[in-house]
Chain A
Amino acid sequence: MTRIVGIAVMWLALLALPWWLPLIGGYTALGSKVLIYAIATMGLNLVLGFTGGLSFGQAAYFGLGAYGAGMTLKYLAPSTPLAIVIGTVVGGLAATVLGPLVMRRRGIYFAMITIAIGQLFYFVMVRWNEVTGGEDGLAGFARQDIHLGLLNVPISSSGTAFYYLVLLCFTVAVAVMWTVLQSPLGHTWVAIRENRRRMEFLGIRVERYVWAAFAIAGTITAFAGTLNAMLFNFASPQDLHWILSGNFVIMIVLGGMRSFFGPLIGVIIFVVAQDYLSSVTDNWMTFIGLIFVCIVLLFPRGVLGIFRRAEAV
């Protein structure tokens, strides 16, 4: 019951965000960014927190989604829904194809391979100058209004309207992820995380389930990436960089990687802190680094973990 109340309150707060966020010194685009990163990290958490696969190169799929959407708008057709679909499919396909290479690995090795694979896409986007804009990023496209019959949703000109599109996407993504986690597939993931060998003995094809987790997580992250490209009307190589991958992971750990909404909490704290720090000091990277170190040493179970019973880390 408390859970339902909590989710209802969160939902109302998000719905009313364009009104209250400017009052406390924020701006609507910051709200959009938080929700986009929340989709990405909650997707990543399907692998990281629920299946126990240490994916440290998730920015690759985020960036592929961003570039996929940007290129669709720039070269193919000026349609927002089409851009979202194509970007998501591109990132999702990449994760699905590469999944078999990582699904057999565990722990550190899983992390190393996912990081290195992420770098491949980074260099493709940085060096494929004529098409992707290289180091400068992909510009020269803009999100387009959505036409629903007679109704025209003016997301191209209104940041608030775009925020509501992002909120809608967030809601859909949350519903999908929640459903998946409640399904036998989701329960199998958790079981694999808890005791992989035992699942193997039970005759479960563990590798296939890890593959599924990796593919679904990549797809959802790419979905978030498409929205990110349209938020800024820009896709940057930084969207694919391993620094962003690391940031995704710390956001999840910061919020609590064992809980469904944990990443959302972590994203809020991290994005706001980053936004604030980069406006007050040139050395914001040092402070971000200190956040990493402090979380690992002092709060390994994240914000939500503080309120839970003690468990081994």
Chain B
Amino acid sequence: MELLLFNAFNGLIQGVFYALMALGLALILSLNSVINMAHGGFLVIGAYLAYTLTPYLGFWGALIAGPILAGGIGLIVERILIRPVYKRVDPIYSLLLTFGLALIIEDLTRTIWGPQGLPLEVPDVINSPVSDVYFFITGYRLFVIGITAAAAIGLYLLLRYTLLGIRIRAGTRDLETTAALGVNIYKLRAFNFAFGCIFAGLAGVLAAGVLGLTPPMGNSLIMPSFVAIIIGGVGSLFGAVLGGLIIGLAAGLVTTYYPAASEAVIYLMMLIVLVVRPRGLFGEEGLFE
């Protein structure tokens, strides 16, 4: 029973990272119409910058600075590389572009910080186990869940109540009309891309505290995030978060009984969802069909 709880909780933490990644990916997918294959790269950038800044800013400063810097780099990348391909009708180009970017970021990370894993020091205040019996429920893990929940709720409030959020939602629905109503959609898409990268960076810093830092760490998180979006339903941010949590939990539970299948189960679940409910749990009917 304890083993089951242990794995379920581990899975939930993994799911939180998937959810954060999927949230950023889904944002970019819906407004920028780009599958950001480099999303794992932005995660790595956020994590490693936080690692480098920790000696100067402390953990808390790095936790804020890492994601924001990832967002800033996202803004530059969007302006220089992504913007020229918006006008291409075939999505293959944005896919290949971000794919190449992912290779570059991973390789440069390896060159700059080295191929071996690095630890991200988490303050003792939040790193001690909360309970003696359930040793795996450390304060840091609860902290990860809390921060993620706060970020998700913050994003919801931003999209729901601010002018920028309303414009982003309007642009997702109908970009041309939004542009015709006088919104600068280039700026809007740039901001949106940066938001997505901030979420990737946040996932990176938080994940680094649990899993440590390695150059390919983004790779192992980006594919499950795709699955989270497909299961949750393309076009639904809530679906992306829920999808991430579900597959994380499922992978954790399967680890208890049959560890070898803990990764494959995620993709099997996706196949089942695609057969039973092709648009995903909260997806809109007819989108991309």
Interface of A toward B, CB cutoff 8 Å: 48, 54, 56, 98, 101, 104-113, 115-117, 119-120, 123-124, 126-129, 242-243, 246, 249-250, 253, 257, 282-283, 285-286, 288-293, 295-297, 300, 312-313
Contact with A along B253-267 (1 / 0, CB 8 A): 000000011011001
> Which residues of chain B are within 8 angstroms of A113 by Cβ–Cβ distance?
230, 274
Q: Are A246 and B108 in contact (CB under 8 A)?
A: no
Q: Are A242 and B223 in contact (CB under 8 A)?
A: yes
Asked if B33 is at the interface (CB within 8 A of a chain A CB), the reply is yes
Q: A107-B288, A115-B226 are in contact. Are A292 and B267 (CB under 8 A)?
A: no
> Which residues of chain B are within 8 angstroms of A290 by Cβ–Cβ distance?
100, 104
Asked if B103 is at the interface (CB within 8 A of a chain A CB), the reply is yes
Q: Are B85 and A296 in contact (CB under 8 A)?
A: yes
Instruction: Provide the bound-state CA to CA distance between A307 and B183, in Å.
Output: 40
Contact with A along B233-275 (1 / 0, CB 8 A): 0100000000000000000000000001101100110110011
Q: Are A292 and B100 in contact (CB under 8 A)?
A: yes
Instruction: Provide the bound-state CA to CA distance between A123 and B223, in Å.
Output: 12
B-side interface mostly: helix
Rank and list the top 4 A-B pairs by shortest CB-CB distance, nearest first. A292-B100, A109-B288, A289-B103, A289-B104
Min Cβ gap A226→B in Å is 23
> Which residues of chain A are within 8 angstroms of B29 by Cβ–Cβ distance?
108
Instruction: Provide the bound-state CA to CA distance between A119 and B99, in Å.
Output: 16
Q: A113-B274, A246-B99 are in contact. Are A120 and B267 (CB under 8 A)?
A: yes
> Which residues of chain A are within 8 angstroms of B288 by Cβ–Cβ distance?
105-110
Q: A127-B260, A285-B104, A286-B103 are in contact. Are A292 and B88 (CB under 8 A)?
A: no
Q: How many interface residues does B have (CB within 8 Å)?
A: 46
Instruction: Provide the bound-state CA to CA distance between A290 and B263, in Å.
Output: 31
Q: Are A119 and B267 in contact (CB under 8 A)?
A: yes
Q: Are A297 and B97 in contact (CB under 8 A)?
A: yes
Ordered by A's residue number, 20 sampled pairs between the chains whose C-beta atoms are within 8 Å are A54-B90, A107-B288, A111-B35, A116-B226, A117-B270, A117-B271, A127-B264, A129-B260, A250-B96, A250-B100, A282-B111, A283-B111, A288-B103, A289-B101, A289-B103, A289-B104, A290-B104, A293-B101, A293-B104, A300-B88
Instruction: Provide the bound-state CA to CA distance between A54 and B104, in Å.
Output: 23
Select A300's contact among B37, B93, B111, beta carbons within 8 Å.
B93
Name the residue on B nearest A245 (C-beta).
B99
Min Cβ gap A36→B in Å is 22
